[in-house]
């Protein structure tokens, strides 16, 4: 699945971003995304930034046999994060207009 990029705002994963993801324990030493068991606490605690989640999706899609269940869960997390941001902005706008 090379050259698969579903995100227009994140075009590629730089070396610096790969290192940051590794230091944050989101990727293994070989550069692959960690297992779901190690990734889940970051998602449930909502400590994973939306951009980092997108980078993890891109890294997983680079693999010869990407774990599509993991990709789906990350995309759901990104969607939820975007929904929360949008609802927060709407709430702020409605509060300032009252």
Look at residue 7 and tell me if it is in a domain.
no
| Separation of alpha carbons 84 and 90, rounded Å | 10
Provide the 10 A C-beta neighbour count for residue 42. Answer: 19
10 within a domain of the structure (yes/no): no
How far is it, in rounded angstroms, from Cα 17 to Cα 49?
A: 13
Residue 23's pLDDT is what? 95
The whole domain housing 44 covers: 15-97
Q: Is residue 64 exposed (0-12), middle (13-18) or buried (19+ Cβ within 10 Å)?
A: exposed
Tell me which residue has tokens 């975007």.
82
Q: Quick check: is 3 in a domain?
A: no
Question: How many structural domains compose the chain?
Answer: 1
Q: Give me the average pLDDT of each 10-residue run along the chain (98 residues).
A: 72 94 95 94 88 94 92 89 72 68
Which parts of 1-98 fold into alpha helices (H)?
Answer: 15-23, 36-44, 50-62, 68-97
């Amino acid at each position: 699945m090379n050259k698969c990029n579903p995100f227009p705002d994140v075009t590629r994963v730089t070396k610096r971003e790969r290192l940051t993801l590794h230091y944050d324990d989101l990727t293994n030493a070989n550069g692959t995304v960690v297992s779901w068991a190690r990734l889940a606490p970051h998602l449930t605690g909502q400590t994973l930034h939306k951009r980092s989640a997108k980078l993890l999706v891109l890294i997983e899609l680079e693999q010869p046999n990407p774990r599509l269940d993991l990709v789906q869960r990350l995309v759901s997390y990104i969607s939820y994060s975007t929904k929360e941001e949008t609802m927060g902005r709407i709430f702020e706008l409605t509060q300032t207009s009252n």
